[in-house]
Amino acid sequence: MQKLEVFGSNKLKGQIEISGSKNASLPILAATLLSDKKVYLKNLPKVKDIVTMINLLQSLGSKIKFKKKNLIIDNSKQNKNFASYSLVKTMRAGILVLGPLLAKFGAAKVSLPGGCAIGTRPVDVHLKALSKLGVKYKIIQGYVHAVAPRGLVGTKIKFEKISVGATENLIIASSFAKGTTILSNCAIEPEIKDLINFLVKLGCNIQWTSKRTIKILGVNKINQPTHTIMFDRIEAGTYLIAAAITEGNLIIKNVIPNIIKREIKTLRKVGAKIFTKKNEIQIKGNKNIKSLNIKTAPYPGFPTDLQAQIMVLLCMANKKSSVREDIFDNRFMHVAELNRMGAQISINGNKALIKGNIKFAPAELMATDLRASVSLVLAALTTKGKSIINRIYHLDRGYENIEKKLKKVGAKIRRVNI
């Protein structure tokens, strides 16, 4: 076990290079199961969820070489279709192997997923959509037992609600279905577009026909692609907020500013000065932080994965603010820990009411999920004194070398073995 010790009150100054996207890498790694040739992926982040997905693929028979940030997958002898609970329990993205396994073998047994404890995260949307492609399934002792007796057959599917994971699973599965599939009410996150870019390089026939509608013609011929994973927009947003809360001056590199326009607009509204170039963003924090009312929404709305981080900033704003969580239930578990540091946040259903005008005090803290854990780090960066953050394995699921990156720009932070 490890913990972080954070000594606050330093303004962050310098440059931070953003890693490859965890949320883009996971579905792309799952999609490589479609191939029986070598696949080359570049710019993968070295985070726990990626290691878990690699272990899952290896358990299915994939041969993988992962060096630095580049990976080679050889599926020429991949012949297993059982994803065990021991590998899927810590990561909800494990369910993404269901679609490609069904497309490839016509049958799969996949554990129901685990991951962050932020609501029930039902896989019903995935399963109902797959059933329209000809899949029959039962859930027995925590496993999805699924078969496609006649193979996957293309059809028209409208998602009952916008779901990133279900959109990804169905795009992957439909790429090998017989005939044409039309998916509507799709999620349009940049990570989904990166997945489609990869699948097109693989040889799949996928087209956007409107903002949230995708047309997929099933194929059976596969290429041997090389693909570079997009930048992690949530990591970028986290460090932008870190600069804002510490009155810092950071240059965020290896990003595409146009992809995170909403986040940039939000930070400008609270008073940060932001300048953008082709592949970088400069942000200067402001002592006077303005209050704001925010609600999370599917892309291009404000991302739920930055909700906890922006709440830290709004605790320091000049007036009352609010944050409404419209994506997941039970995603305010960081609030209790922030209140222990001096925040004054009250919860009313899916809305957090934030008093503002507070100064965080150091404390010993407990991380409850991935994004909650990084919000505690951000709050600790503003305090005068030492904060201790426990259960940082949550943090390591999605942030690559966070203490090293923060140290480089002036933070006093260290990892300690317990």
Assign 119 a pLDDT band (cuts: 50, 70, 90).
very low
Mean residue pLDDT across the chain: 95
Report the catalytic residues.
116
**What's the whole-model pTM score?**
0.96
Mean pLDDT for the stretch of residues 114-130: 72
Q: Are 358 and 341 in contact (CB under 8 A)?
A: no
Contact 241, 309 (CB under 8 A): yes
Looking at residue 115, its pLDDT comes to 55
The mean per-residue pLDDT over the stretch 59-77 comes to 95
Out of 42-51, 109-118, 170-179, least confident range: 109-118
* Helix (H) / strand (E) containing 224: none
Is 121 a residue whose pLDDT tops 70? no
pLDDT in tens, 235-273: 999 999 999 999 999 999 999 999 999 999 999 999 999
Cβ proximity of 341 and 365 under 8 Å? yes
Q: Looking at domain 2-19+231-417, does it have CATH number 2.60.40.10?
A: no
Which CATH number, 3.40.50.720, 1.20.120.1200, 2.60.40.3620, 3.65.10.10, labels domain 22-228? 3.65.10.10
- Residue 117's pLDDT band, with cuts at 50, 70 and 90, is very low
Quickly tell me which residue has 């992962």 as its tokens.
Answer: 66
Residue 71 confidence (pLDDT): 97
Separation CA 270–CA 314 (nearest Å): 8
Q: What percent of the chain has pLDDT over 90?
A: 90
CA distance 286 to 266: 14
List every span in the chain annotated with CATH 3.65.10.10: 2-19+231-417, 22-228
Lowest-pLDDT choice from 112-121, 209-218, 281-290:
112-121
Neighbours of 351 (CB within 10 A): 15
Pairing relation of β-strands 180-184 and 213-217? antiparallel
Closest to 234 (Cα-Cα) out of 406, 353, 6, 398: 398
Q: How many CA atoms lie within 13 A of 201 on its CB side?
A: 20
Q: Round to whole Å and give the CA distance between 246 and 378.
A: 9
